Structures are given as C-alpha cells and as structure tokens.
Chains A and B, each alone.
Chain A
Amino acid sequence: MKKQPKPVTNPYLAGTMLGVVLFAAFALTHSGLGASGAISRIQVSLTKLIWQSHVDKVGTFALMGAGDTNPLDHASVFLLLGTFAGGMISALFNRRLRFEILKGPRISKTQRLFFALIGGVIMGYGARFARGCTSGQALSGGAVLSLGSWAFMFCVFIGGYATAYFVRRLWAD
C-alpha cells in the first residue's frame, strides 16, 4: 500500500512559522538560526579524526578544533541536530519520509547524485565565503536588517537565476 504524501503547507503560513521560530531563537539565545556554521564544525571534527596536526595548522580549522577543543561542543551543532530531527518528524507525519532520489525527469539518478554532490561542494564553499548561508545570513541577518545580509540574499538569487539557464537540463520536464 503506497500512501500519498500530504500536500505541502501554504508558503505564507510556513513562512510565518519560520518567522516565529526565528524570533524565538533571537529571544532565547541572542542569535538567530544557522546551518553552515555547524556544517563547518562537522567538517573540522571529521578531519580531526584522521589528521589532527592539520587542523592545528589551518587557521579557520584551528579556531574550532585545535588541540583538545571539541568543535562539536557548540550551540550551532545542537541547532543542526534539532533541524534534522524536526525535518524527520514532519516528513514522517506528512508521509514524505521515503528513500528516494529527487531529480528532474531528463537526467539519470547517478547524474543527479553527482550534481547534488558538486552543488553541495559549491554551496559549502560559498557559505564559508559569505560567513553564513540562507538560514544564518539571509533569514537571521535579514530579520535584524543587517546590510551585508540583504546584499548577500540578493546575490544568492542573482547567482541562481544567472546560472539556471545553463543547467536547465537538470530540472526541466
């Protein structure tokens, strides 16, 4: 028996919920949301497992994980774990929890996985460059009117729209 996934929520409603969560984050912790910071920490802790001396040498890695410092001992990591849990819970209740590869119809599954990986690398790199991602910079920084965050947000959209034509085969029907 294959259950049909429930329809997604009205984006304005979901957006309002997002805004309330974001406000709660600021109200309870002084900071907004974020994901890329924790992803960096995961990267540093994985590197630590196999190559501690390298972590000590590279500037930005050392800040998070030099010597005995545990890069995962940080609030952002718990925020990430929560985001993961929340995603899973919601997917479960909305019948969207399913092993699958989401892709445009014109490419193969392998191609999709390849481009997902490449896209992730580019994103991970860009997020460090910008000192934040859409959750940390755009949402959180945007809500407190930080100029850099608004500029960043526009650039993400510009970058995406400018590239969309060239990768249309990934997504086109």
Chain B
Amino acid sequence: MLPLDISSELGKAGGYLVFFLIGTGFGVALELAGFGDSRRLAAQFYFKDMTVLKTMFTGIIVACLLIFLSSAVGFLDFTQLAVNQTFLWPGIIGGLIMGVGFIVGGYCPGTSLVATASFKLDGLLFLIGAVLGAGLFGESLPKFEDFWYSSFTDRYLVSDWLGWSIGATVFAVILFALIMFYGAEKVEEYFRIRGTGKVMSWKITRRSYLFGAGTLVVLASLVWIIGQPDPVRKWKYMESRYAVQLTTKAVFIHPLEYVKTNNEATIKLITLDLRPGKDFEAFHLSGSQNVTLDDLFKTSVVAPLAQLPPQGVVVLIAENDSVSIKAWKYLKVQGVVNLYILENGLQNWKSLFADKTVAGKTFNLASPPSEVLKLFPKDSFIQKIKIGSKKRAGGLCS
C-alpha cells in the first residue's frame, strides 16, 4: 500500500537516488512548461501569459485526484502523507512577500534552479539572492519569533475548514480550477493575442480541451462517490499490514509496564478508557479519558492522537478484548503510531496493587508510583512499548 518509505526499502543512498530522480522529473516538467524564462513567469502578472496559473493548477489537481482516488480505493494511506502544517498568518505574510519577489525577480526558487541550469545568468543571480534571503531570515527571526510560531494548526485541510467531506472538497477544487482555466484562456486572448496578432506557440483544440475537462470532472466525481474510507473499510484494506501485531499480542501491555510508562517523564501518555460511564466513575486511572467506540470515528477526537509527537503513546482500556481490539484497529488505520492495549483492562488492577505499600505507606490505586515496580520480580512483564519513528509532518520545505 502506498506511500512507500523508499529510504527504508533501499537504504539512505538508494533513497537519495530516488529523490534525485523525482527532482529530475520535476525539473523537466518545469523546463518543458517554459518556466526557465523569467519573462514568461512575469507575464503572468500582466495577464499576457497565464502559463503559470494553468501549469500550477493542473499540477495540483492531477496530483490531488491521483492521491484521493488511490486513497478511496484503498491503494494509498492518506494518513501517512506529509501535509504541510498550517501557520496561517506567517503563511499569508510570507506569500505576499513572495509575490513581490516573484514579480521583481521573475522567478521562484524552483524555477530559478531550472533557469540557472539553462545557463540563464539572471536565474543564477536570483538563486544567489534566494540563498542570501534565507540567511537574512534566519538572522532576523528572533525579533518576531512568536509571530512566526503563531496561528498554528497541524494538518488542517480545506475540507476540515469547510466542514465538507474530502470528496466534495476535491470536486469543488476541480470545478474551481476549470473555471480558472477558462478565465485564463479568455484573459490571455484579450491581453495578448488581440493586441499583437501573435499566435500561441502550442495548439489546443476545443475538443481536446473539453475532453480534458470532462475527464477531470469524471475522476472528481468518482472520488466523491466512492468516498474516503472510514476506519471500518480502511481496516479491510490494511488488515494484512497490522493484524499480526494483534495476533502476536505485540501491542498488549502488562499493568506494570503501564505504571512504568506513566511515570516516565519523557513519554507523553494518553489513556483512553472505553468502559461504560458508571464503571469509569467508580474507578479509573488518573489522567485517563472516558470515550466510546463511536468517538473514535470523530476527527476531533482522533486528530490529536494521530498528531502526537514521536514520544506520545496511546493506551486503550476496555472491559473486554473485542472492544479494545476494535478500538485499536480504528485508531491504527487513522494514523495513531504508538498504540497499545492494557491486557485484561483493569480486571486485575486491584488484585495486583491492592495490598502493596511503598515506603510503608499505601498509595492511590489510580496512579501507582514507579517505586511499586520494585515490589515485583524483574521479569514480571515483557517490555512491549517501542517509541515509533518519524513524524508525518512538514514535508521537505521546513
């Protein structure tokens, strides 16, 4: 299932080679579009040549359709894709600044690479400037660091903001792009062709245009109709990958390991208790939250769990295995990395800890201190918790 982690498949050097090859495709596409030429890029902002808009938006919607179509049919796990973190206001200000740089310099970082590679001296000067500008930023950041870290939402999608499904959002984006393309063609015709009598250097017939637009609308409709998989459907797609962790009990932890982890300062522990409310009221572990299985279908509940830092661990407690296993499956396919089940829930908790004392004193059963571990033989439990790997955030540009 996509995405692959090519660096772990091929090793670091192999991974770097893949990045190099992808970059080559990127550079070729940019150059073929004519983006190695600052005059063409600048013309966008005088409405004379809308190539930038057409190419960029086409690129975005093609990738968008491929991603969400493959996600809808279970071919790709979207939770594993890096989604840029949203820092809204720094992004807005930064974007405006970049717009100025674009029209003054005639390039953006990616296109200036292509221009430099085509031996354009203005491209090289721009690239040098970009390196200097990056340095200038680093130097000046301390002065407005708080602002730069403000208005943050991790992994916030347009669909989240609109409150729409991903499918509906994708469809809307495609329609928006098609409208922009139509507008771009008309604007170009007005500002460029009529004025000078020049002819565009490539030909596009009305038939191929409609065919392209039609294809996009059909694909977008498919994405919307099939819909993104809910946790139940997603488990069917991903069962082969994760089921073994359940059957080998690799993710079931002993109460002692829970106590150990809870008392470890470096680990951020989130405990979800799926038992009925009245059982929770009667006794629950300190810091645990009472949730239902239905809650695990809600983005508002799951998103913070999926976005925990690498040292975040989620432990599930339930009155029986079928509940905790179901919960584990639903959370796993929604991107929760370090996810474990407290074996047998709280059934043996009291019998395990009730008559124990630490330094002569009894302790709160809801939060046993780490000293309790010394009261048990060293091999009472097998350590199962392993802190998971990289975070799926940011991408390459941060």
Binding site for B on A (CB under 8 A): 7-12, 14-40, 42-44, 46-47, 58-61, 75-76, 78-91, 94, 96-104, 112-113, 115-164, 167-168, 170-172
Q: Which residues of the partner chain B approach A47 to less than 8 Å between Cβ atoms?
A: 135
Is B274 on the interface with A (CB-CB < 8 A)?
no
B183, chain A: closest CB distance, angstroms = 13
Out of A35, A120, A145, A150, name the residue touching B132 (CB < 8 Å).
Answer: A120
B6, chain A: closest CB distance, angstroms = 5
B133 near A84: Cβ-Cβ < 8 Å: no
Is B37 on the interface with A (CB-CB < 8 A)?
yes
Could you name 21 residue pairs across A and B whose Cβ atoms are closer than 8 Å?
A18-B33, A18-B62, A23-B67, A32-B82, A47-B135, A81-B23, A88-B118, A97-B119, A116-B123, A119-B126, A120-B130, A121-B132, A122-B100, A130-B93, A146-B83, A156-B98, A159-B98, A159-B100, A160-B44, A167-B103, A172-B46
Is B29 on the interface with A (CB-CB < 8 A)?
yes
Q: Which residues of the partner chain A approach B123 to less than 8 Å between Cβ atoms?
A: 102, 116
Within 8 A of A (CB), among B151-183: 153, 155-161, 166, 169-170, 173, 181
Is B108 on the interface with A (CB-CB < 8 A)?
yes
Which B residue's beta carbon lies closest to that of A118? B104
Known contacts A10-B202, A22-B63, A134-B110; is-contact A124 B133 (Cβ 8 Å)? yes
Q: Main SS of chain B's interface residues?
A: helix
Q: Main SS of chain A's interface residues?
A: helix
Encoded as 1 (CB less than 8 Å from any A CB) or 0, chain B from 47 to 59 comes to 0001101111111
Out of B17, B63, B113, B203, name the residue touching A35 (CB < 8 Å).
Answer: B113
Total number of B residues with any Cβ neighbor in A under 8 Å: 140
**Which residue, of B7, B23, B81, B398, has the highest number of chain A Cβ atoms within 10 A?**
B23
Binding site for A on B (CB under 8 A): 2-7, 15-34, 36-40, 42-46, 50-51, 53-64, 66-67, 70, 76, 78, 80-88, 90-110, 112-123, 125-139, 141-142, 145, 148, 153, 155-161, 166, 169-170, 173, 181, 201-204, 212, 392, 394-398
A126 near B22: Cβ-Cβ < 8 Å: no
A65, chain B: closest CB distance, angstroms = 11
Out of A100, A129, A142, A171, name the residue touching B121 (CB < 8 Å).
Answer: A100
Known contacts A136-B395, A137-B91; is-contact A101 B122 (Cβ 8 Å)? yes
B92 near A155: Cβ-Cβ < 8 Å: yes
Known contacts A60-B141, A86-B23; is-contact A123 B98 (Cβ 8 Å)? yes
A88 near B117: Cβ-Cβ < 8 Å: yes
